[in-house]
Amino acid sequence: MKTKIADKFRTLFGEAGDFFASAGRINLIGEHTDYNGGFVFPGAVDKGIMAEIKLNGMDKVRVFALDMDEYVEFGLREEDIPAQSWARYVFGVCREIIKRGGKISGFDSVFAGDVPLGAGMSSSAALESTFAFALDNLFGLGIDKFELARIGQSTEHNYCGVNCGIMDQFASIFGKAGNLMRLDCKTMEYRYYPFHPQGYKLVLLDSVVKHELASSAYNRRRESCETVAKAIRKNHPEVEFLRDARMEWLEEVRDVVSAEDYMRAEYVIEEVRRVLDVCDALEKDDYETVGQKMYETHYGMSKLYEVSCEELDFLNDVAKECGVTGSRVMGGGFGGCTINLVKDGLYDQFIAKATASFAEKFGHAPKVYDVVISDGARRLE
C-alpha cells in the first residue's frame, strides 16, 4: 500500500511527504454505551488508513483517495465544504482543528486504506484519526490525544450527520498492539488490558450488508436514550446519562416514556453492567463468562435496541449451534460484522459451517477477518 501511495504522490505532487497511519477498531463489548456515558472495550486492528502528506504553502488542500480513484481540492473556510463524502472527513478534521484555534494551512495528500467499508470497523474514524494526528504533528500544534479523538468525533457530528460517541476515535488514536482498552466514557478514565486469550481466537464474520439510513436510525437511538435519561432525572437529579441509572429507576418512568424508548434504555443499562462483568471475568481468565455476555449483548442489540438484521442474527445462530464461546453483532449495527470468540479447536469447523450455510441462504459468502490487535495513530518511518 505504501509503495502505491508513494508512486501516486510523486506523480501528482512531486517531492515526497511524510507517512502517517491509523487503525480501524473492534469492540469486545459495550455497544451504544459511549454516548450514554458508559463503558466500552475496544482495541485497534491491523486494518487502517495510510496517508502521505506534505505541506504545500498554499491555503488549499489537495487530496487524492487512491481506493476511490478520486481527486478533490478544497479551501479551509467553512463554505469550502467539498461534495464528496470521503473528502468531508478530511475537511471536517481541518475545520475542527481551526475552530479549536489550531493554525493550519494547505497540504497535499494521497491516502488509501484496507478497513472494509460498512463493516462496523470504523473506517471513518481511521481516516479522521490519521489526518488529525498528522496535522497536529506536521504543524506542531501540541493537541492532546483526547482532543484529537474529539476532533474526529466532532467531524462526524458537524460534517457527516452522525451523532456518534467517542469510542471509535478513541480506539483509533489510543490503540496499542496486543491490548484492549476499557474506557469510561463519562470520566474518560481508561485502562489497557493485555489481551491474549490462551486457546481462543477472535474472528469477525462480515455479512457484507450495509443498510441505508443507518445514520438516521443511529441518531434516533441516541435521542431515545436522552429522552429516557431526562425522564429519570426528574426523580433522580444525579442521572446525567443512562449510565447513571438503575433498572428500578427506569421502571419508575415506564408509563411516561414510549414502549420503544423503554426497551432502548433497558438494553443500555444492562450493557453498561455487562462490560464490568466482562472485565471481572477477564481478570480470572474466565472466557466462558465473557462469551456468555457477548451472546446477551447480541440478544439485546437484536430484540431491544433493534440494530441487528436477518443476516447478523443468522450468523449469531450458526455460532451458537456450533458451540462458539461468544458471538454478537459488533459496532453500530444495521449490517456489518459479528465478532466471535472461538476455541482454537473449533475454529476451522465454525468458519466452514458459517461460510457455507450463510452462502446457501443469502447467495454470497461472509468475509472472514482474524482479529490482530494493533497500534493506533502513528507516524511511519
Residues marked as catalytic: 168
Give 55-75 as a DSSP string. Answer: E-SSSEEEEEETTTTEEEEEE
Q: Give the three-class secondary structure for 123.
A: helix
- Taking the C-alpha atoms of residue 330 and residue 112, their distance in angstroms, rounded to an integer, is 24
Out of 34, 108, 128, 136, name the contact with ligand GLA by CB under 6 A.
Answer: 34
Out of 8, 32, 47, 264, name the contact with ligand GLA by CB under 6 A.
Answer: 32
Q: Give the three-class secondary structure for 140.
A: coil
CB of 80 to ligand GLA, least distance (A): 25
115-144 positions binding ligand GLA, by CB under 6 A:
122
**130 close to 50: Cβ distance less than 8 angstroms:** yes
274-333 positions binding ligand GLA, by CB under 6 A:
331-332
* Residue 165 binding ligand GLA, by CB under 6 A: yes
CB of 223 to ligand GLA, least distance (A): 13
- Taking the C-alpha atoms of residue 161 and residue 99, their distance in angstroms, rounded to an integer, is 18
Decide the pairing of beta strands 378-380 and 70-75.
unpaired
Contact region with ligand GLA (CB under 6 A), list: 1-9, 27-35, 74-82, 202-210? 27-35
Q: Give the three-class secondary structure for 215.
A: helix
* Residue 261 binding ligand GLA, by CB under 6 A: no
* Residue 206 binding ligand GLA, by CB under 6 A: no
Which cell numbers hold the place of 31? 455497544
What's the burial of 37, exposed, middle or buried (CB within 10 Å: 0-12/13-18/19+)? buried
Q: Which is nearer to ligand GLA, 167 or 173 (CB)?
A: 167
Q: Which is nearer to ligand GLA, 8 or 32 (CB)?
A: 32
Contact region with ligand GLA (CB under 6 A), list: 16-24, 77-85, 105-113, 160-168? 160-168
What's the burial of 291, exposed, middle or buried (CB within 10 Å: 0-12/13-18/19+)? buried
What's the burial of 318, exposed, middle or buried (CB within 10 Å: 0-12/13-18/19+)? buried
CB of 253 to ligand GLA, least distance (A): 23
Q: Which is nearer to ligand GLA, 31 or 108 (CB)?
A: 31
Q: Which is nearer to ligand GLA, 52 or 206 (CB)?
A: 206
Q: Which is nearer to ligand GLA, 215 or 227 (CB)?
A: 215
Which cell numbers hold the place of 58? 498554499
Which cell numbers hold the place of 150? 474529539
CB of 165 to ligand GLA, least distance (A): 3
CB of 111 to ligand GLA, least distance (A): 20
Out of 5, 29, 143, 167, name the contact with ligand GLA by CB under 6 A.
Answer: 167
Give 145-214 as a DSSP string. Answer: HHHHHHHHHHHHHHHS-----SHHHHHHHH-BTTEEEEEETTT--EEEEE---TTEEEEEEEEEEE-TTH
Out of 96, 168, 296, 375, name the contact with ligand GLA by CB under 6 A.
Answer: 168
**173 close to 376: Cβ distance less than 8 angstroms:** yes
Contact region with ligand GLA (CB under 6 A), list: 30-38, 204-212, 360-368, 372-380? 30-38
Contact region with ligand GLA (CB under 6 A), list: 72-80, 161-169, 260-268, 283-291? 161-169
- Taking the C-alpha atoms of residue 180 and residue 202, their distance in angstroms, rounded to an integer, is 12
φ and ψ at residue 38, rounded to 5 degrees: -95, -160
Q: With contacts defined by CB under 6 A, how many residues of the chain interact with ligand GLA?
A: 11
60-99 positions binding ligand GLA, by CB under 6 A:
none
Q: Which is nearer to ligand GLA, 61 or 371 (CB)?
A: 371
Q: Which is nearer to ligand GLA, 17 or 300 (CB)?
A: 300
Out of 112, 143, 164, 173, name the contact with ligand GLA by CB under 6 A.
Answer: 164
* H/E run at residue 128: helix 123-138
Q: Which residues bind ligand GLA (CB under 6 A)?
A: 31-32, 34-35, 122, 164-165, 167-168, 331-332
